[in-house]
A and B are shown apart, each in its own frame.
Chain A
Amino acid sequence: MKRGFGFRIRRHDEALREIDEEIQGHLEARIAHLTAQGLSPDAARAEALRRFGDVAAGRAALLAQARRHRLRVRIVVALEQSVQDVRYVGRSLLRSPGFSVGMIATLALGLGINAAVFRVADQVLLRAPAGVRDPHRVVRVETTADFGGGPQRATSFSYGDAERILAGGAFEAGAMYAAPRRQADRGREVAVSAVDARYFRLLGVEPVHGRSFLADEARPGTDPRVAVASHAYWERAFGRAPFTGDQTIVLGARTYRVVGVAPPGFSGLELDPTDLWIPLGDGEFGAGSINGVRIPWYHSDMLRAMRVVGRLPSARTGRVAAGRVTGALSAIDEAMSRPRRTAVLRPIVPAGDAARQGDAHVLLRRLSGAALVVMLLAIANAANLLLARGVGRRSEIGVRLAVGAGRGRIVRLLLAESLLLAAAGGGAAALFGGWTYDALRRLVFPDARWVASAVDLRTFIFIALAAVAAGIGAGLAPALQATRRDVIAALREARAQAPAPRRTRAALVVVQTALSLALVVAAALLVLSLVRLQGVRIGFDPQGLLTVSLSGDLRDPRSRNAAELAERLGDVSGVRGVALASIAPFGSTSMMDITVHGAPFAPEAGDDTPHYAGVSDNYFAVMGMRVLEGRGFAPTDVPGSEPVAVVNASMARRFWGSASPFSSCIQADVCARVVGIVENVRDGPGGEAPMRFYLPLPQTSRPGSSAIVRAEPAAVRPAADTARALLRPGQPGRIEVVADRVARMLRPWQTATVLFVSLGAVALGLASIGLYGIMSYLVSARIPELGIRIALGATPADVTAMVLRSGFRLVAIGGVFGLALAALASRLLNSLVFGVSPLEPAAYAAGCVALFIAAAAAMLPPARRAASIDPVSALRAE
């Protein structure tokens, strides 16, 4: 710096001196000329000065001009030099394609995976739902209360509680709405959410066409049959037709007038996009769901369907507002002598349905961690590769220093090399990351709404910054190290080992081994849990099973009833059996007040109540459920014969423990004697199965609403098509291929497994490359020594063993650290693994075996090379 400054001063002086000399010469020539013409010296001098003009100003102008010119020249030279540098570096990289490809692949993998995970995390965890004004001030109300057995979270409220919360003055503005439900519009599924009149205004969402809801329309019981469509749904349903205000949509058997269209992008607050909003006053919303008795839902304290959102006066007033919500609920809790509920206000910014936040989000967070580890590995690898190259180029750099190249210029060349590699790696990472991102969103969040943007600027900036940081970080140290040496030593010991980089590289390999082993163990844990998951008995056989569930008014003579459907479906070829049930095997449930006579245990308050279903006599057989004890239903279980019931294993355990339930009866209208125990049908792989009991459909007053079809696997889709064709126009129905449902349920685990296994493989690959690099380097550094050993009689096998020993020493150190790290980190995977302890020895053993194989594969080629050293040439080189 100091030298550079002095340099500039000197050049500056020189320019000024030349200008002065030129002016001086000019004036003297002019004076001489004038004197020759007969002027006195004084007069000539005065005239010369007059003709020149302002000498000081002229001199300054000339100097400024010279300076500008020099700057321009300097810029041009610098540009030319950089072009030269890039060309030079490009050529030298092309000369060692192995190194270049290794670097670029390393960066592409490390950064690409990170960019993809970052982008998904950004969309799912960090970005507010689109279209909401000031989203950081909008909060969702949740409560926690302890009913004994730990705090329980509630995200939905009864209508009365929601009213109380909104009247409590906690928010600048508030609204309630029901989370979207799936309904059918002419055979298509539509996500419909019921909202109050304040909903759109609260969120700052102005319809682009028409209006939002009026206060009257949102009053329960008014049944206005109007709807607001999301922009996407509007385009799907009406294409480019102009909005008229009297277009209609048919949901089930009801026709709705579309009175407004939401602005593009807005699709509600849940991760699942909402297609249609109806006002809370809608007659169909919440109708007829409690045991077939039409209770006005807004009078029921049991039906908790309302979500409450509020807008805070400022983002920092959350605590005050939460206190007010708690206060608003405390009176009713006290009056009902219930445990007091405490309000929690959650920002809507981590968008997503509270229930869905679970698995996918945990997975995403773990994945981010794993991706970060892979990036660390990649950077370590890049540093390792550049270090190796730095060592290899020591003699080249020595020559350059000797012929007078400045240290600065060499550092610049090495940096240019890192940056060029970073740019190429970054470009590859962008491609690879884009591809991974698409794969991720299809695999993990297929139903989520995504902000459609072809080029994500933030992701691009992220990749660019990370690539440059990795490039400089990985390149600077070797660059400085390579030049921090005196010329003679560099030339003399061009091939001798330098202790410092060797230790650094050994440390890098240890770190890489440890990190990759931890990732591989994590992947192994997930593979094991997926294997266990697929082996889990879910209580029925999903393959070849189809359910057709009807909703709407089943007594309407214009609708198909389930019995009629079952008959027709039984005729489809490949169908082996069709059963009927009052309710679909999954999803919705029916409860009724029951008394169990003769059971040693009575369910405690706050316990789940058993759900029930009326089923046809072949139901258990068609579902593939095993009857564990007693009998299933028979065609003889009809009205008039003895009322009977079958309980599931979960209910049998809770009510009867190890005692026999067969002398007990379940009292609803009549007392139905328990005649059998069937296995539990699980909704999800974890947790305890809910209690259920079954009654013979003919003995209940309920009509069948579901047909369950057991078919040859190949006949499932044709049967589904037949069922679809059988539905009357406008009849709401849901046709589900059960195997798809089960697959969907397993998807988070499958995804986690696939991703972790790929990350683990990438990590192992990176570690192997690193190991290969350092082993090759160590071997070439030890050529003279090994040559002597061979000359003294060491066999190739001895030499190979020696090299492998030194390599495995590093691997062993890294392995010990890696196992410890895996044991510590595996606890983070707790919610992602199933039926596997985080310390499962098999996973750790598998990780070690994988590491051993990868290490051996990486070390064998250098070890072989060591064994084939020719002692004569090795010694001569010395």
Chain B
Amino acid sequence: MSRHPEKLTILRGTLDVLVLQAVSARPLHGFDVSLWLDERSGSTLRLDDSALYQCLHRLEARGLISGTWGVSENNRRARYYEITEEGRRHLATKGERLLSFARMVTTLLAPDSSRG
């Protein structure tokens, strides 16, 4: 997905969950989401903005988020994405699954990383 080999690449389903998480607190436009991902990951996660927009549109087509045109803080027309009820349910189940997966991987890899 990412064309930056030095950065962490990310699976599509994972990105969906992360983007849903980003818009779960309040409506965000695309650039805000990109900033959110950047800040939260401490700049370790980087993906093309183009891929981010495809993700947003895909989530919108699936009815997990809804987009409306609004005005941004610097007075530009921008499309704001808001999580839907279905999106919340999706986030809850998929997020939980992703977390437990991550915990499992962490546990499994811990001895190796201490030895290395």
- Listed in ascending order, the chain A residues whose CB lies under 8 Å from chain B are 18, 21-23, 25-26, 28-30, 32-33, 51-55, 57-58, 61-62, 65-66, 68-69, 72
Contacts and interface: CB of A to CB of B under 8 A. Distances in A.
Contacts of B50: 52-55, 57-58, 61
Nearest to B50: A58
A25 B73 CA distance: 12
A72 B61 CA distance: 10
A69 B61 contact: yes
B48 A25 contact: no
Contact of B49 (A18, A33, A53): A53
Contact of A62 (B3, B57, B74, B77): B57
Interface stretch (B18-26, B29-37, B87-95, B108-116): B29-37
B94 to A, nearest CB: 21
A62 B52 CA distance: 11
Contacts of B3: 53
A28 B76 contact: yes
A22 B30 contact: yes
Interface of A is mostly: helix
Interface of B: 3, 29-31, 34-35, 46, 48-51, 53-54, 57-58, 61, 72, 74, 76-79
B31 A25 contact: yes
Contacts of A21: 77
Contacts of B54: 58, 61-62, 65
B57 A26 contact: no
A62 B53 CA distance: 8
Given A22-B79, A61-B50, A65-B61, 6 more contacts: A29-B74, A29-B76, A54-B50, A58-B54, A61-B54, A69-B61
A57 B72 CA distance: 26
B74 A32 contact: yes
Nearest to B51: A53
A58 B1 CA distance: 13
Contacts of A52: 48-50
Contacts of A57: 50
B53 A22 contact: yes
Nearest to A52: B49
A26 B31 contact: yes
B57 to A, nearest CB: 5
A28 B77 CA distance: 11
Contacts of B77: 21, 25
Contact of B58 (A28, A33, A65): A65
B53 A66 contact: no
B78 A25 contact: yes
B31 A51 contact: no
B51 to A, nearest CB: 7
A22 B48 CA distance: 15
| List of 5 A-B pairs having minimum Cβ-Cβ separation, nearest first | A58-B50, A53-B48, A53-B50, A29-B31, A69-B61
A18 to B, nearest CB: 8
Contact of B72 (A29, A55, A62, A68): A29
B89 to A, nearest CB: 21
Task: Determine which residue in B3, B35, B50, B51 has the highest number of CB atoms from chain A within 10 A of its CB, and name it.
Answer: B50
A22 B29 CA distance: 9
Nearest to A63: B57
A28 B34 CA distance: 14
Contact of A65 (B29, B57, B76): B57
A713 B34 CA distance: 104
A33 B31 CA distance: 10
20 contacts: A22-B53, A22-B79, A26-B30, A28-B76, A29-B72, A29-B78, A33-B31, A52-B48, A52-B49, A53-B3, A53-B48, A53-B49, A53-B50, A53-B51, A57-B50, A58-B48, A61-B50, A62-B53, A65-B54, A72-B61
A62 B54 CA distance: 6
A172 B16 CA distance: 74
B12 to A, nearest CB: 13
B76 A33 contact: no
Contacts of A28: 76
A25 B74 contact: no
A30 B61 contact: no
A109 B49 CA distance: 68
Contacts of B53: 22-23, 26, 58, 62
